[in-house]
Amino acid sequence: MSTHIYLDHGASTPVNPQVIEQMMPFWTEHYGNPSSSHAHGRSAGFALDEARLTIAQLMNAKAKEIVFTGCGSESDNLAIRGVMWAARKNGTGNHLITSAIEHEAVIETAVQLRDHFNFDLTILGADEYGRVSVEDVAAAIRPDTALISIMAANNEIGTMQPIQEIGALAREHGILFHTDAVQAAATTRWDMATMPIDLLSMAPHKFYGPKGVGILYVRDGVELVSALTGGGQEDGRRSGTVNVAFAVGAAEAFKLAQDNLEAHVTHYTSLRDQLIAGVLAAVPADDIILTGHPTERLPHHASFALKNLSGNDLLMHLDMAGISASSGSACKTGDPKPSAILETIGLDPAWTKGGLRFTVGSQNTLADIEHVIQAMPLVVEKVRKVSQLFIPSN
């Protein structure tokens, strides 16, 4: 495994040993329930407060605006369902705007609200680069729009969205704005005092933190109806004993990401650009295109579509060549259906099953990238040969 090159940091990352070190005492030493008032509880509760404050300060936010959840998907679910249910309860709106390029955690939540709870839903398209247009958002706004949810950056094609402009538009109309920043959290500076964002989802396992914890920023004053009811933890927004060790790990990972942001972005961008240029030069031009925006893309993200090839077959052969990549999102790997994102950006069926994503990380080197560039033409040739065996002759 150690000789395998890991280029799937968009799916998950190794946990930084510094993060593990910070988490350890909260299993064996400070194991009290953070809601308990005795000494054991207080020491856990203090660490939880510290973790919340650390994240808040890094985003220029207030501690009470940070909610710990179980994963990025739960943060998206809580933001969208929580706001829409509150709007229903208060009679302040029934309409939600999102886009076809969102992660399933957003789109499936929105569709469920429409199909089973009679909310109105507008799903916007995107341009050939996967950008949602601010004008389209403006045109979709109605008097009863309660929430706009547009992701900060797409997981499959890396395109970053004009969230500043969309958030400003939402604010102009008095509509709440949520952004799924699961892919963009660690390479963006967040200043919630000035950014027009009311809710923001993150997943620490995407930036060298543990799996099993998510973060949701909720602007002070925004009401959420909780889907997880019970003891009223997290200010009534997410009941259940908080996982202190994971909250501590989430805070440490976010701190390390934000403290080293410029160095990481420089490293990632350099590897990404060499990877994109090298792969496009190595594979016959008729067989491959870059997907996503050429410049407005995540610094660690290189994505392609290959003509008349299956992304799954490409992944299998890359794996055999010692490279771990992805076809777009971790949840989709193994799914032979055409990519909804590649369809949304207007690619014809010859391309939509051939999505391929490489996401670099802090441990990757230029030698890793060179290995991929060298392997790609051979992998493409092998997959093409195998797939031709199955093309009917008549």
Catalytic residues, by residue number, are 331
Q: For strand 301-306 and strand 214-218, is the pairing parallel, antiparallel, or unpaired?
A: unpaired
CA R_g for the chain: 22
CB of 37 to ligand PLP, least distance (A): 32
CB of 204 to ligand PLP, least distance (A): 9
Stretch that binds ligand PLP, among 175-183, 235-243, 311-319, 354-362 (CB under 6 A): 175-183
Stretch that binds ligand PLP, among 116-124, 157-165, 176-184, 292-300 (CB under 6 A): 176-184
* Number of chain positions touching ligand PLP (CB under 6 A): 15
CB of 77 to ligand PLP, least distance (A): 9
CA angle, 294 then 9 then 66, to 5°:
95
Q: For strand 288-290 and strand 301-306, is the pairing parallel, antiparallel, or unpaired?
A: antiparallel
Query: What tokens were used for 377?
Result: 């033409």
Give 285-289's long-range contacts (Cβ < 8 A, gap of 24+): 287/380, 287/384, 288/380, 289/351
CB of 39 to ligand PLP, least distance (A): 34
Pure H helices in the chain:
17-23, 25-28, 39-58, 72-90, 104-117, 134-140, 163-172, 244-259, 261-282, 311-320, 340-344, 366-389
Stretch that binds ligand PLP, among 18-26, 35-43, 65-73, 233-241 (CB under 6 A): 65-73
Question: Where in 76-95 is the site for ligand PLP (CB under 6 A)?
Answer: 76
Selected binder of ligand PLP within 30, 95, 103, 293 (CB under 6 A): 103
In order of 22, 117, 174, 187, the CA distances from 260 in angstroms are 18, 44, 35, 9
CB of 116 to ligand PLP, least distance (A): 21
Give yes or no for residue 73 binding ligand PLP (CB under 6 A): yes
Give yes or no for residue 151 binding ligand PLP (CB under 6 A): yes
At which residue do the structure tokens 């547009």 appear? 150
Stretch that binds ligand PLP, among 131-139, 164-172, 180-188, 348-356 (CB under 6 A): 180-188
- Cβ neighbours of residue 250 under 8 Å, at least 6 residues apart? 51, 55, 68, 204, 209, 210, 213, 215
Query: What tokens were used for 244?
Result: 């202190």
Single-letter code of the amino acid located at 372: V
Q: Taking Cα atoms as reference points, which of 336, 355, 333, 334 lies closest to residue 344? A: 355
Stretch that binds ligand PLP, among 71-79, 140-148, 254-262, 345-353 (CB under 6 A): 71-79
CB of 391 to ligand PLP, least distance (A): 33
Selected binder of ligand PLP within 22, 43, 77, 155 (CB under 6 A): 155
For ligand PLP, the closer CB: 56 or 203? 203
The residue whose Cβ lies closest to ligand PLP is: 72
CA atoms within 13 A on the CB side of 112: 11
CB of 169 to ligand PLP, least distance (A): 21
For ligand PLP, the closer CB: 267 or 357? 357
Give yes or no for residue 329 binding ligand PLP (CB under 6 A): yes
Give yes or no for residue 330 binding ligand PLP (CB under 6 A): yes
Question: Where in 206-245 is the site for ligand PLP (CB under 6 A)?
Answer: 214
Selected binder of ligand PLP within 7, 96, 137, 182 (CB under 6 A): 182
Give yes or no for residue 180 binding ligand PLP (CB under 6 A): yes
Selected binder of ligand PLP within 183, 188, 291, 326 (CB under 6 A): 183
**Rounded to an integer, what distance in angstroms lies between the CA atom of residue 252 and that of residue 239?**
23
- Supply φ then ψ for residue 273, to 5 degrees: -65, -35
Give yes or no for residue 72 binding ligand PLP (CB under 6 A): yes
Q: For strand 199-202 and strand 214-218, is the pairing parallel, antiparallel, or unpaired?
A: antiparallel
Site of interaction with ligand PLP (CB under 6 A) = 71-73, 76, 103, 105, 151, 155, 180, 182-183, 203, 214, 329-330
